[in-house]
Protein backbone atom coordinates (compact mmCIF):
# COMPACT_ATOMS: atom_id res chain seq x y z
CA UNK A 1 0.00 0.00 0.00
CA UNK A 2 2.62 2.45 1.15
CA UNK A 3 4.86 1.02 -1.50
CA UNK A 4 2.37 1.72 -4.28
CA UNK A 5 1.93 5.30 -3.11
CA UNK A 6 5.63 5.91 -2.96
CA UNK A 7 6.16 4.47 -6.37
CA UNK A 8 3.46 6.68 -7.80
CA UNK A 9 5.08 9.73 -6.27
CA UNK A 10 8.40 8.67 -7.68
CA UNK A 11 6.95 8.35 -11.15
CA UNK A 12 5.21 11.68 -10.89
CA UNK A 13 8.47 13.32 -9.85
CA UNK A 14 9.99 12.42 -13.21
CA UNK A 15 10.43 15.26 -15.69
CA UNK A 16 7.72 14.80 -18.29
CA UNK A 17 8.91 14.19 -21.82
CA UNK A 18 7.40 14.74 -25.21
CA UNK A 19 5.65 11.48 -25.93
CA UNK A 20 5.35 12.13 -29.63
CA UNK A 21 9.14 12.28 -29.93
CA UNK A 22 10.07 8.78 -28.87
CA UNK A 23 6.91 7.17 -30.14
CA UNK A 24 7.67 8.46 -33.62
CA UNK A 25 11.27 7.40 -33.41
CA UNK A 26 10.27 4.03 -31.95
CA UNK A 27 7.94 3.68 -34.91
CA UNK A 28 10.87 4.39 -37.19
CA UNK A 29 12.77 1.29 -36.16
CA UNK A 30 10.19 -0.85 -34.36
CA UNK A 31 12.92 -2.20 -32.13
CA UNK A 32 13.13 -2.77 -28.38
CA UNK A 33 14.53 -0.18 -25.98
CA UNK A 34 18.27 0.21 -25.61
CA UNK A 35 18.42 -1.69 -22.32
CA UNK A 36 16.23 -4.60 -23.48
CA UNK A 37 19.16 -6.91 -24.15
CA UNK A 38 20.18 -6.81 -20.49
CA UNK A 39 16.90 -6.19 -18.72
CA UNK A 40 17.61 -8.89 -16.13
CA UNK A 41 20.98 -7.30 -15.37
CA UNK A 42 19.42 -3.88 -14.81
CA UNK A 43 16.68 -5.33 -12.60
CA UNK A 44 19.29 -7.11 -10.50
CA UNK A 45 21.28 -3.88 -10.08
CA UNK A 46 18.15 -1.96 -9.05
CA UNK A 47 17.19 -4.61 -6.49
CA UNK A 48 20.67 -4.46 -5.02
CA UNK A 49 20.47 -0.65 -4.84
CA UNK A 50 17.06 -0.94 -3.15
CA UNK A 51 18.66 -3.19 -0.52
CA UNK A 52 21.47 -0.67 -0.01
CA UNK A 53 18.97 2.17 0.47
CA UNK A 54 17.13 0.08 3.05
CA UNK A 55 20.49 -0.63 4.73
CA UNK A 56 21.14 3.12 5.05
CA UNK A 57 17.74 3.68 6.69
CA UNK A 58 18.66 0.93 9.16
CA UNK A 59 22.03 2.59 9.87
CA UNK A 60 20.25 5.88 10.65
CA UNK A 61 17.66 4.09 12.77
CA UNK A 62 20.46 2.42 14.76
CA UNK A 63 22.28 5.76 15.24
CA UNK A 64 25.40 4.77 13.33
CA UNK A 65 28.13 7.33 12.88
CA UNK A 66 27.37 10.17 10.39
CA UNK A 67 30.50 9.56 8.33
CA UNK A 68 29.67 5.87 7.93
CA UNK A 69 26.16 6.77 6.77
CA UNK A 70 27.65 9.31 4.35
CA UNK A 71 30.09 6.74 2.97
CA UNK A 72 27.22 4.39 2.29
CA UNK A 73 25.09 7.12 0.66
CA UNK A 74 28.06 7.92 -1.62
CA UNK A 75 28.35 4.23 -2.53
CA UNK A 76 24.68 4.08 -3.55
CA UNK A 77 24.92 7.35 -5.49
CA UNK A 78 27.89 5.88 -7.35
CA UNK A 79 25.97 2.68 -8.10
CA UNK A 80 23.07 4.75 -9.51
CA UNK A 81 25.45 6.77 -11.67
CA UNK A 82 26.90 3.52 -13.05
CA UNK A 83 23.36 2.45 -13.98
CA UNK A 84 22.82 5.84 -15.66
CA UNK A 85 26.02 5.52 -17.69
CA UNK A 86 25.08 2.01 -18.80
CA UNK A 87 21.60 3.25 -19.82
CA UNK A 88 23.16 6.11 -21.80
CA UNK A 89 25.50 3.76 -23.64
CA UNK A 90 22.69 1.30 -24.44
CA UNK A 91 20.49 4.18 -25.56
CA UNK A 92 23.16 5.66 -27.85
CA UNK A 93 24.00 2.25 -29.28
CA UNK A 94 20.41 1.32 -30.08
CA UNK A 95 17.87 4.15 -30.16
CA UNK A 96 20.18 6.92 -31.35
CA UNK A 97 22.04 4.80 -33.92
CA UNK A 98 18.74 3.41 -35.28
CA UNK A 99 17.25 6.92 -35.53
CA UNK A 100 20.39 8.20 -37.31
CA UNK A 101 20.01 5.44 -39.89
CA UNK A 102 16.27 6.14 -40.31
CA UNK A 103 16.54 9.83 -41.19
CA UNK A 104 18.54 12.97 -40.45
CA UNK A 105 15.60 14.52 -38.61
CA UNK A 106 15.09 11.45 -36.39
CA UNK A 107 18.81 11.30 -35.67
CA UNK A 108 18.96 14.99 -34.76
CA UNK A 109 15.91 14.72 -32.47
CA UNK A 110 17.38 11.71 -30.64
CA UNK A 111 20.79 13.38 -30.25
CA UNK A 112 19.11 16.45 -28.77
CA UNK A 113 17.08 14.34 -26.34
CA UNK A 114 20.09 12.21 -25.32
CA UNK A 115 22.21 15.33 -24.78
CA UNK A 116 19.62 16.77 -22.41
CA UNK A 117 19.60 13.52 -20.43
CA UNK A 118 23.41 13.57 -20.25
CA UNK A 119 23.30 17.17 -19.01
CA UNK A 120 20.90 16.15 -16.21
CA UNK A 121 23.40 13.44 -15.29
CA UNK A 122 26.39 15.78 -15.17
CA UNK A 123 24.66 18.79 -13.58
CA UNK A 124 23.11 16.67 -10.86
What is the footprint of its own copies within residues 42-81 (CB under 8 A)? 42-43, 46-61, 63-78, 80-81
32 binds its own copies, rule: CB under 8 A: yes
Q: Burial of 24 by CB count in 10 Å (0-12 exposed, 13-18 middle, 19+ buried)?
A: middle
Q: Does 29 bind its own copies (CB under 8 A)?
A: no
15 is a site residue for its own copies (CB under 8 A) = yes
Does position 100 bind its own copies by CB under 8 A?
yes
| Angstrom distance (rounded) from CA 110 to CA 21 | 8
User: Could you give phi then psi for residue 16, rounded to 5 degrees?
Assistant: -70, 150
Residue 100's Cβ-side half-sphere holds a number of Cα atoms within 13 Å equal to 11
CB of 30 to its own copies, least distance (A): 14
Binding residues for its own copies, rule CB under 8 A, total 87
| 24 near its own copies, rule: CB under 8 A | no
Say whether residue 121 binds its own copies (CB under 8 A): yes
- Distance, in Å, from the CA atom of 24 to the CA atom of 109, rounded to the nearest integer, reads 10
Amino acid sequence: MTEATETTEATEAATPHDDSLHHDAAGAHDGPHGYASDKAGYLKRMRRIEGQVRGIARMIDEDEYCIDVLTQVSAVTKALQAVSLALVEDHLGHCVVDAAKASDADGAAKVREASEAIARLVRM
